[in-house]
Chain A
Amino acid sequence: MLQIIFIIPVAQLLILAYAVTFEIKNVRFITIDHDRSTHSKKLINKFNGSAFFEYKGNAENYEEAEEMIISDKADQVLVIEPGFGKKLNTERTGSVQVITNAINGNAASLMSAYATSIIADYNREIIIEQNPVNFTGLPIDTKPSFWYNPELDYITYMVPGILVLLVTIIGMFLSGMNLVKEKEIGTIEQINVTPIKKYQFIAGKLIPFWVIANIDLAFGLVIAKLVFNIPIIGSLPLLFFVASIYLVVILSFGLLISTLTNTMQQSMFISWFFLVIFILMSGLFTPIESMPQWAQMIDTINPVAYFIKINRMIMLKGSGFMDFQREFWILIVYAIGMFIFSTMRYRKTA
């Protein structure tokens, strides 16, 4: 059991960090360069020089470019219209088109974000080049989404969320399986025939798992630091404080499920049901803001979403308590409510 408790987080972190990371290293990129000016060459070179892009050559026209995307030889097309360089020189504006294969939406938005940032970079260079003294005329920063994660490192973004999954899964299963296991082997009957108070029993079940899950979190943080070199900008005590409240929610939830079920199989099934929904909707994979309204409504009762949000804020932005007060108080209410609910649902007399 002890091994499981420590092997699972390592495995989860190592596998999930890579599996759910959409980081794209080698975007195969082609151009349709109708301009063929110094400017267009420079821009293409800029793409080529970036670690993310791998230049696969120039296509003559849209048809050829499309063919390359369909046959999966390219992911992205940069279209430069004739006169691009000339217009830049004379009118100081210019436009290019970026076409991205969006079969995988997440990958696509990332690729297009990379492309935008390179173009913006080039933009800045031109402005500096043309305006070496007056440096203030920078275009609007097109990189807001990369704050706090300047290298666009997806793993950095994902790991705080995966750490939340780790304690959630461990906590939910430990608590969800334990009580129902006692029902299956019959030890619960021996407990139920003692004068133990219901809250004492639930607390007695909760505290050991709470300690284990906190140790797992610490363990996960160490791995995150050592293996992925994830920055932990915010306060660790604050992180563990919030985690401790969050764990009361998750553990009470697991205990509630096991008071309602009679076999480990039932408990497993119901735990999975909630875990899958909570995790898919947690904002780990898709930002909650881009979910449909009804999904956002559901997320107001999703504890995983709250803690992922807080954990990212603490670890990546160094946010303090005041920055996530609202989420924190919701978790507090949730924790108290779930603890009371699971205590009430635990029946000593059938």
Chain B
Amino acid sequence: MNKNDHIIEVRDLVKRFGSFTANDHLNFTVSKGEIFGFLGANGAGKTTAIKILSGLSKPTSGVAIVAGFDVAKYPNKVKKNIGYMSQHFSLYDDMTVKENFRFYGGIFGLSRKSIREKTEYYLEKLKMQNFRNMLLKQIPLGWKQKLAFSVANIHEPAVVFLDEPTGGVDPITRRQFWELIYDSADKGTTVFVTTHYMDEAEYCERVSIMSEGRIEAIGSPGKLKEEFGVNTMDEVFVQIARTPLDPPIGGTDRGNSFKKQVN
């Protein structure tokens, strides 16, 4: 693969909190336009890595290049080119839907006209036109997550980082959420997503699986299943992490992802 096609390039990335190593020499690349799944059990170090990649936190050592810029050296240049949806819902609950769009659009320097167009575009796509003037706190979580995704994409970033965007969201809304992700990837945005749900891992083009701060496996879901000689990503995951995942909420089209198998 051509090196220039790598929108994210991570080399020997280490993050320590005191004597605790949360990210232990991570090495991976993500190509332009790819949907990359960043998997791992709770506490594996996913959020720590995503915060470094989005310039929220400084690496202890190693290099991370995002959208062409070294995040440790040029965090603000990176920030111009990325969207980010944190693990905790973080739009303003006491502002309306429209106001949140206007606020974040404004920070990224979008014109009023373009903010208006973008707002209408997303509200239509989410079928949320009637929510326009509602306060965020009046809206159910699943809908809010879709709004947060749209806001994170308002400036058409090169990469969007999604940290467990579907945590606690019902299966139908999760499907809709993934439609949004595909939509955005179709337009050329690279999607870097962490998730707990193994059925969602199957939707990714490539995934990495982290355990205790290290990346233990990386590749397409098909390749990983083959490598581990199993039928589901859940089983791959269990073999690596040695700890079963939280079961997905509600049924999924891959019923056997419920199966927990501890070897």
Contact = CB atoms under 8 A, between A and B. Distances in A.
Chain A interface category by residue count:
10 to 19
Interface stretch (B36-44, B85-93, B169-177, B178-186): B85-93
Contacts of A187: 90-92
A185 B57 CA distance: 18
B56 A189 contact: yes
Given A193-B79, A195-B76, A196-B107, A349 B86 contact: no
A187 B90 CA distance: 4
A194 B76 CA distance: 8
Contacts of B77: 195
Given A186-B86, A189-B90, A195 B108 contact: yes
B132 interface: no
Contacts of A194: 79, 104, 107-108
A350 B86 contact: no
A305 to B, nearest CB: 36
Given A195-B76, A195-B80, A349-B75, A186 B58 contact: no
Interface residues of B, number: 23
B75 A190 contact: no
Contacts of B55: 193, 348-349
Describe A's contact surface by its main secondary structure: loop
Nearest to B76: A195
Given A185-B90, A186-B86, A186-B89, A193 B54 contact: yes
A190 B90 contact: yes
Contacts of B82: 193
B235 to A, nearest CB: 34
Contacts of A196: 107
A192 interface: yes
B84 interface: yes
A196 B76 CA distance: 8
A256 B80 CA distance: 26
Interface string A158-177: 00000000000000000000
Interface in A91-149: none
A192 B56 CA distance: 7
Contact of B91 (A190, A193, A349): A190
B56 A186 contact: no
Nearest to A193: B84
Residue of B57, B75, B84, B107 with highest tally of chain A CB at under 10 A? B107
Interface string A320-350: 0000000000000000000000000000111
Interface string A192-203: 111110000000
Contacts of A191: 107
Contacts of B75: 348-349
Contacts of A349: 55-58, 75
A348 B74 CA distance: 12
A116 to B, nearest CB: 58
Nearest to A198: B76
Nearest to B58: A349
Contact of B90 (A186, A348, A350): A186
A193 B91 CA distance: 13
15 contacts: A185-B90, A185-B93, A186-B88, A187-B92, A189-B90, A190-B91, A190-B104, A194-B79, A195-B77, A195-B107, A196-B107, A348-B55, A348-B56, A349-B55, A349-B58
Interface of A: 185-187, 189-196, 348-350
Interface of B: 51, 54-58, 75-77, 79-80, 82, 84, 86, 88-93, 104, 107-108
Given A193-B82, A348-B55, 10 more contacts: A189-B56, A189-B84, A190-B86, A190-B90, A192-B56, A194-B108, A195-B107, A348-B56, A348-B75, A349-B55
